[in-house]
Amino acid sequence: MIKKIITLFLILIPINSFALIEVDITRGNLDPLPVAVSPLSIDEKSRKSFNKMLNKDNIGEEISNIVENNLRTSGLFNPLNKEAFLQAPDIANLKPRFEDWNLIKAQALITGKVSHVDKKLRVEFRLWDVLAAKEMMALAFTTVPNNWRRVGHIISDKIYERLTGEKGYFDTRIIYVAEEGPKTQRIKKLAIMDQDGFNNKFLTLGNELVLTPRFNPTSQMVTYLSYFKNLPRVYLLDIETGTQEVVGDFPGMTFAPRFSPDGKKIIMSLAKDGKSDIYTMDLENRIVEKITNHPSIDTSPSYSPDGKYVTFNSDRSGYQQIYIMKSDGSDVKRISFGNGLYGTPVWSPRGDLIAFTKLHKGKFYIGVMRTDGKGERLLTENYYQEAPSWSPNGRVLIFYRETKTNDKGEGFTAKLWSIDLTGYNERQIKTPTDASDPSWSSLLSN
């Protein structure tokens, strides 16, 4: 499904790149950059043929809407109201009248054009610096028309990257657990959707309990826990073919799976005789290795991006705390020492931070700490929330949050939320049903 069907041409690289706008993403951005997203212009013939094909009246506007929405939800940009735009989209794309865009306080302008070429969708777009009156970037894509949403996400990523200096996270998907029914008999299914909540699809039927899906590095495979035949075991699912298989042949419950950064191994816990230890299984030669060996509960393992270390959750000190070790299990070191219990450590794709869930005085927090345990920062507090997962650029965390029920045990909901690493820009991600255990894919177009 995630084939490289999108070809990319570089039309022009700006030679002169000094004094152009830049967005600092390392601080909470209370003053998002005003941008004007001029609707992608489209000739009448192309508009009509795409209308027939995709049932969208104006595909140019639809794609711009995706870009606008992505930029807005990032919290770093403030897309301006289109009604204030003075210049027509097709003319703006040729040569913007910068005075006009300056007048409405736009600092960046995005223009572009959509056309129907050889049964394909061709999209070109330009990013302009309004104050410097310069073109910052110009790119064109050709793809199958059905891919139009992805084109919107890829454009968003290119703009984000050009303006922040870091890779974007818009052309990505979220795998999660869709939930329905009463709390005591919850029905759970694996589901997948685009990062912005569109193209939602259920991957299992809900006949058995499923939990904690996680992508492999190429985002084509998923490892998760299934209670198929009442035997809780780690499974592997190929998203494209729908093939599922149990991982290994273990004498007890296997759970808490994740892929190694090279995608060759699965690291997970095996619970047996009242203790849980961490194991790996090589997916090629099926060799199983025991990584921890302790009478305590050792679970929620997560590799460092270079694969040399593993962070995990253990109660060997008496309570749930976060540890790191070398990936062969040596040099185990506790890193969480604050008040409360710590769980679900996840290593950042940038390598410098570990995200976690913290339970303290009846509240749940999502937070981050450095890999030596120093610099703990709590990003959000709530009645119940857990399971952070990193955006591929390491700037945003997605997690799930549950509500407290009333005296009669009613009113339970579970929803997905995201928050910037800065602690700003907390927002709910809309899902068709209740949702939990989100896992963010890698960038699909890289």
Q: Binding residues for another protein, per CB under 8 A?
A: 182-186, 209, 211-212, 225, 230, 232, 252-253, 255-256, 269, 271, 273-276, 297, 299-300, 313, 315, 319-320, 341, 343-344, 357, 359, 362, 383-384, 386-387, 402, 404-405, 407-410, 412, 437
Nearer to another protein, 62 or 437 (CB): 437
For another protein, the closer of residues 31 and 273 by Cβ is 273
Nearer to another protein, 36 or 247 (CB): 247
Give 331-338's long-range contacts (Cβ < 8 A, gap of 24+): 332/292, 334/373, 335/311, 335/369, 335/371, 335/372, 335/373, 336/369, 336/373, 336/376, 337/373, 338/376
Nearer to another protein, 90 or 315 (CB): 315
Q: Give the residue carrying structure tokens 């199958």.
A: 144
Cα 177 off chain centre by: 15
Which residues are CB-neighbours of 385 under 8 A, at least 6 positions away? Answer: 357, 364, 365, 366, 399, 400, 401, 402, 417
Picking from 46, 47, 5, 41, the residue whose alpha carbon sits closest to that of residue 147 is: 5
Residue 297 CB, nearest distance to another protein (Å)? 4
Partner residues linked to 377 by β-bridges:
368
**Closer residue to another protein (CB): 275 or 370:** 275
Residue 79, φ and ψ in degrees, nearest 5: -65, 130
Four-residue CA torsion sign, 150, 417, 166, 355: negative
Give the neighbor-by-neighbor strand order of the sheet with 221-226. 210-215, 221-226, 233-238, 244-246
Distance in angstroms (rounded) separating the CA atoms of residues 108 and 10: 20
Which one, 46 or 212, has the nearer CB to another protein? 212
Q: Smallest distance, Å, CB 203 to another protein? A: 19
| Shortest distance (Å) from residue 292 CB to another protein | 12
Q: Which is nearer to another protein, 313 or 442 (CB)?
A: 313
HEC-encoded secondary structure of 224-278 = EEECHHHCCEEEEEECCCCCEEECCCCCCEEEEEEECCCCCEEEEEEEECCEEEE
Supply the minimum distance, in Å, between the C-beta of residue 360 and another protein.
12
Choose between 149 and 275: whose C-beta lies nearer to another protein.
275
| Residue number, 124 or 437, with CB nearest to another protein | 437
Q: Considering the complex, what minimum distance in angstroms separates the CB of residue 394 from another protein?
A: 22
Min CB(249)–another protein separation in Å: 17
Classified as helix, coil or strand, 67 is: helix
**Smallest gap, in angstroms, from Cβ of residue 199 to another protein?**
26
Least separation, in Å, of the C-beta of 417 and another protein? 16
Q: How far apart are CB 405 and another protein at their closest, in Å?
A: 5
Q: Which is nearer to another protein, 218 or 413 (CB)?
A: 413
- The least distance separating another protein from the CB of residue 268, rounded to whole angstroms, comes to 10
* DSSP H stretches of helix in 110-231: 148-164
Q: 261 and 306 in contact (C-beta within 8 Å)? A: yes
To which H or E segment does residue 45 belong? helix 44-54
| E-only strand ranges, 315-383 | 321-326, 333-334, 341-347, 353-360, 363-370, 377-382
| Residue 343 C-beta: closest distance to another protein, Å | 4
Q: How far, in Å, CA of 16 to CA of 162, rounded?
A: 14
| Least separation in angstroms between CB 182 and another protein | 7
CA distance 221 to 239: 6
User: Toward another protein, which CB reaches closer, 70 or 314?
Assistant: 314
Q: Are 266 and 247 in contact (CB under 8 A)?
A: yes
Apex CA 147: angle with CA 65 and CA 195, to 5°?
A: 60
Separation CA 225–CA 188 (nearest Å): 11
Classified as helix, coil or strand, 305 is: coil
Please, which residue, 198 or 383, has the CB nearer to another protein?
383
